[in-house]
Amino acid sequence: MRRLLLATALLTLPAPVAADAATRWIVKGGGWGHGLGMSQYGAYGQALEGRGYKKILHHYYRSTDLSTANGRVRVLLQASVGSSTFGGANKVGSHSIKPNRNYIVRRSGGSIVVRTPRGKRVARSSGVLRVTGPEGLVTVAGKGVYRDAIEYRPGLSGGVTAVNRVELENYIRGVVPNESPGSWPIEALKAQAVAARSYALGTNSGNPVFDQYDTTASQVYGGYSSEQAKTNRAVAQTRGEVLRYNGKVIVAYFHSTSGGHTENNENIFTGSTPLPYIRGVPDPWDKTSPYHHWRVGYSARRLGSALGVGRLRSVNVTKRGVSPRIVWAKFRGSNGSARLHGWNGIRARLGLRDAPSTFKKIRASGSTASAAVAGAGSRARMRDIVGSVAPGRAGANVTVERRTPTGWERVAAGRLRRSGRFRVALEDKGLYRVVSGGDAGPVVRVR
C-alpha cells in the first residue's frame, strides 16, 4: 500500500537509472557416474528394504539369467615405470629367493633385471618374469599386497610393467570393498560381487598384456590389502555367479548414483549398439546418496566459455534420454553456437558428476528512480529489482532476498509474468538476489 500511495503522489518521474545487471545460469542434474546398469546407492536402498541380491540385479539388468563362470584376470598395476620393488616372494621365474627381503626390478636394454638392494643380480629376462610367494601373496611397494602372482615384463614405453595375474574370485575380493562400502547390507554387497564378476568377464582392455586396469577405467581393485571380512563373505556366497544374456556374460555396467532413473547405453556412449539388458529403469531407492540431486551455478561468461560459445545466451535441448538426462543440446553465445552431447560434451567440459538434465537462466538488475513529490517540495526514491527466469512458468513465485551481515534475509516476493519476467518493489538500497524454485539468481546492487 505504501508503494501505491507514493506512486500516485509523484509529480514527475524520470527514467530509472540502472544499478547492476547480471545473469546466472543454474545447471541441474542427478546422479554420479554414467547412469548405466546398477546404481550402487540404489542397490543399497533396495537391500535396506529387504530385497535380495537376485531381485536387485534383475531390476537393473533386464532379461538376464544368473549362471556361473570362472577364469583368471590380468590386472595392470604399474605401466612402464622406472623401477618396481617387491617383497614377500620366494620365487622369481625359476629362481628361489628369500621372502623376508625386498627386490628391485629395472630395465636393462631389452630385458628386465631383478636385483637385491645391494645390486646383486637375481634374475634376468627379455620376456615375462613371474613372482610368487609362499602364502600366495606378494607385496608391490607403493601399491599393496596381491594374491597369486605378479608378472614383470619390459614396458612398451620403456621401464618395467607389473601385472597381477589373479584367479577370478581373488580378483573380485579385491574389487568389492573398493566399489561398495563394506558396512553396507550383505545383499547389496552380493549384488556388487555379481556385477563386478560379470563386468570382469564381459569386458577387456584390448591390450595383449592385461585385461583390466586397477582404476575406474575398469573397476577399482586394491588386491589383498583392501579385502574385508564382510565383502569376502559376499564374494564367497555368490561364488562364480555371473549374469548372462542369450548365453553370453554381459557387460554389467554399474555406477554410484542414478538420480532416480538409469539410462539406455546408446544415450551415453554415442555410436554404441543398444544393449537389451542396459535399459533405463526407475530407481527411487538411491535417495540416500548425497548426489541424488545436484546443482551448479555459473555466470554467463564462465559457462559459455567452458562450452565454447563465448558469453552464453540461450540453450535449446534437442534430445533427452529415457531419464531426464540431456542427450543433445544446442548452445548459442556471443561467439557463435555449438551442438554438444550430454555425456561426452556438456558433462566433460563442465566437469559434472553426470550428464545434466536442465539449464535455467536467471537475469536480474536493480533500478532506482528519483521523482518530485506533489505538494511536498521533496524527492522520493523508488527501487525495483527486475529481470526474467527462463524457463519460467507464468504465475510462479519468486522471492527477493537482501544480504545482511549474517546471511540472506527474505524481504519481498513477486510472481512471474507470462514472458517469465518479474518486477518487485524494494524499500532500501543494498545487495539483492532473486530466488526462483529454490535457485538463487545473480547478486545485484540496488542504490
Q: Residue 427 domain-assigned? A: yes
Q: Clarify whether residues 8 and 61 are in a common domain.
A: no
Q: Is residue 31 assigned to a domain?
A: no
372-419 pLDDT, tens per residue? 444 545 456 689 999 999 999 999 999 999 999 999 999 999 999 999
Residue 30: inside a domain, yes or no? no
pLDDT at 259 over 80: yes
**For residues 69-93, average pLDDT:** 98
Global confidence as pTM:
0.89
Is 219 domain-assigned? no
For residues 6 and 131, state if they share a domain. Answer: no
In a domain, 351, yes or no: yes
Beta strands in 191-250 (DSSP E): 212-213, 241-245, 248-249
Q: pLDDT tens digit string along 263-287?
A: 999 999 999 999 999 999 999 999 9
**Nearest alpha carbon to residue 365 among 436, 432, 439, 440:** 432
pLDDT at residue 11, rounded to an integer: 34
| pLDDT above 60: residue 15 | no
CATH number at residue 391: 2.60.40
Which pLDDT score, from 0 to 100, does residue 128 have?
97
33 assigned to some structural domain: no
CA distances to 87, 128, 226, 362, 423 from 133, rounded to whole Å, are 9, 17, 18, 63, 75
In tens, the pLDDT along 285-303 reads 999 999 999 999 999 999 9
Q: Does residue 331 share a domain with residue 237?
A: no
Same domain, 263 and 351: no
What residue numbers bound the domain in which 310 lies?
Answer: 293-356
Task: Judge whether 214 lies within some domain.
Answer: no
C-alpha–C-alpha distance, residues 305 and 350, integer Å: 10
| Residue 12, in any domain of the structure | yes
Same-domain check for residues 88 and 150: yes
Question: Are 188 and 251 members of one domain?
Answer: yes
- pLDDT by residue (tens digit) across 25-71? 999 999 999 999 999 999 999 999 999 999 999 999 999 999 999 99
pLDDT of residue 238: 98
**Helix and strand tally (H, E) in the chain?**
10, 29
- pLDDT, mean over the chain: 93
Confidence of residue 368 (pLDDT cuts 50, 70, 90): confident
pLDDT per residue over 126-148, tens digit each? 999 999 999 999 999 999 999 99
Do 143 and 46 belong to one domain? no
Check whether residue 154 and residue 193 sit in a common domain.
Answer: no
Q: Is the predicted pLDDT of residue 348 greater than 50, yes or no?
A: yes
Q: Is the pLDDT of residue 168 over 60?
A: yes
DSSP code, position 14: P
- Per the structure, how many domains does the chain have? 4
pLDDT of residue 370: 57
pLDDT of residue 258: 98
Same domain, 373 and 417: yes
Is the pLDDT at 74 greater than 80? The verdict is: yes
Strand 326-333 and strand 336-341: pairing? antiparallel
Same domain as 347, residue 201 = no
Residue 93 pLDDT greater than 60, yes or no: yes
C-beta of residue 352 within 8 angstroms of C-beta of residue 346 = yes
